[in-house]
Amino acid sequence: MTAASTAELEIDRQNLIALIKAEAVFHGDFTLSSGKKASYYVDMRKLTLDHRAAPAIGRIMLDLIRDIDGIVAVGGLTLGADPIANAVMHESARTDAPLDAFVVRKEPKDHGRGRQVEGADVSGKRVVVVEDTSTTGQSALKAVEALRREGAEPVAVAVIVDRKTGAQAAVEAEGLQWLAAVDLDDLGLAPQ
């Protein structure tokens, strides 16, 4: 389990955990984006796009990455990362170290400038990849690969919910720091 750096942020985190348990954990037979089968699904988009949770997500994730030196932007593979990056960007604007956001398309555009990474200029910059949930880490690593092609220096992957199914090992094998705000212990769920 992870704890937030202040009592106020830990209250935010506990409130988010309660919302996840009540509204974002679904039980049944599911196929994850990794192709793995699961008996529950954590649908964080339900909360990353919800006015009750998004501001707290921004604060919690900003707190999670607070000790990483020199980062200038956050983002990740569209669609899951987009509302998280925006929430972090908005919360960081209240600080003395505001962060920009970027979006990594699944494929480069086939028109216009043909970009795969949109938003903040990431070339030569230290960035953090964010994600809502992670099973194998492949979505985050696809974003990392695109960012490296753009000349960025991804230094960490920060997820809201760690499913504890191998993503951390895959991300760390790429030389990146792994950070998670909530894990299955917090949610009372077993790894699958």
111 among annotated binding-site residues: yes
Contacts of 125 (CB under 8 A, 6+ apart): 71, 72, 73, 152, 153
39 among annotated binding-site residues: no
137 among annotated binding-site residues: yes
User: Please, where are the H alpha helices in the chain?
Assistant: 7-19, 45-48, 54-64, 82-92, 138-149, 167-173, 184-187
2 among annotated binding-site residues: no
33 among annotated binding-site residues: no
134 among annotated binding-site residues: yes
37 among annotated binding-site residues: no
48 among annotated binding-site residues: no
139 among annotated binding-site residues: yes
Contacts of 160 (CB under 8 A, 6+ apart): 16, 44, 48, 57, 60, 61, 84, 131, 132, 133, 180, 181, 182
109 among annotated binding-site residues: yes
106 among annotated binding-site residues: yes
Helix (H, G, I), strand (E, B), or coil: what is residue 72?
strand
126 among annotated binding-site residues: no
Known binding positions for orotate: 135, 163
Known binding positions for 5-phospho-alpha-D-ribose 1-diphosphate: 105-106, 109, 111, 131-139
Known binding positions: 105-106, 109, 111, 131-139, 163
